[in-house]
Amino acid sequence: MELPEEQSTLIHEITEDEVTQKPSLADQLRSRREEIAGNKQVYLPITGYEEFGVVARHRLMDRQQVEEIGRKVIGETRERGERNMRILLDTIINSTSGFFLQSEDEYDEILNAQEGESPVITWTDFARYLGWQPMAEPDSRSAVYFVFGYNEFAIGQYGILLNRWMSNTGLKVDEELLGEGL
């Protein structure tokens, strides 16, 4: 029984396409830094409305905006727990730039037919879209409470997701924050 002759590739026969270089660590880090620096917005699923694909789009806030929220809230209350909750609420409110329905990798604006098909942009808009009818002059904090069913733990959990993203905009929300693989 004859064994087939093994063919070996000679070095001069290797084409350029077959030679791939792994990027250097510095190149990989530069690429990651560009990705992080370029990511200025995120779509977060609204707690309690995930099965419908409802997400809010948030923008990255700068330090000055966060400081303004802090100064405003410090002037409103001295109680630490209430102060923290108001700062969280105002961060959620001020970073929001719209509400969307997510299907696969597409985001469609939620349009309010009762408002002439106008996009739902603010928490007050979204609360009204859900049927909120405030007794007094509507304010955004009350709207957020309404959307989350007056559940401060749900608001807190949502705020944690937002704060984690703001502290590291390179996070992939579905995979790293929510634990879901795409």
| pLDDT at 182 > cutoff 50 | no
Question: Please, which pLDDT band fits residue 37 given cuts at 50, 70 and 90?
Answer: low
Domain segments of the chain: what residues?
Answer: 40-171
Beta bridge partners of 42: 58
Residue 176: what residue type? E
Over the chain, what is the mean pLDDT?
Answer: 84
> Which tens digits make up the pLDDT trace of 83-100?
999 999 999 999 999 999
Q: Which helix (H) or strand (E) holds 48?
A: none
- Give the pair of three-digit tokens for residue 74: 């410090």
Q: Could you tell me the strand order of the sheet in which 96-103 lies? A: 41-45, 54-59, 96-103, 106-109
> Which tens digits make up the pLDDT trace of 98-131?
999 999 889 999 998 877 789 999 999 999 999 9
Percentage of the chain modeled with pLDDT above 90: 55
DSSP 110-165: -EEGGGTSEE--SHHHHHHHTT---SSS--HHHHHHHHTTT-HHHHHHHHHHHHHH
Identify the pLDDT of residue 133. 93
Query: What number is the average pLDDT over the span 150-168?
Result: 92
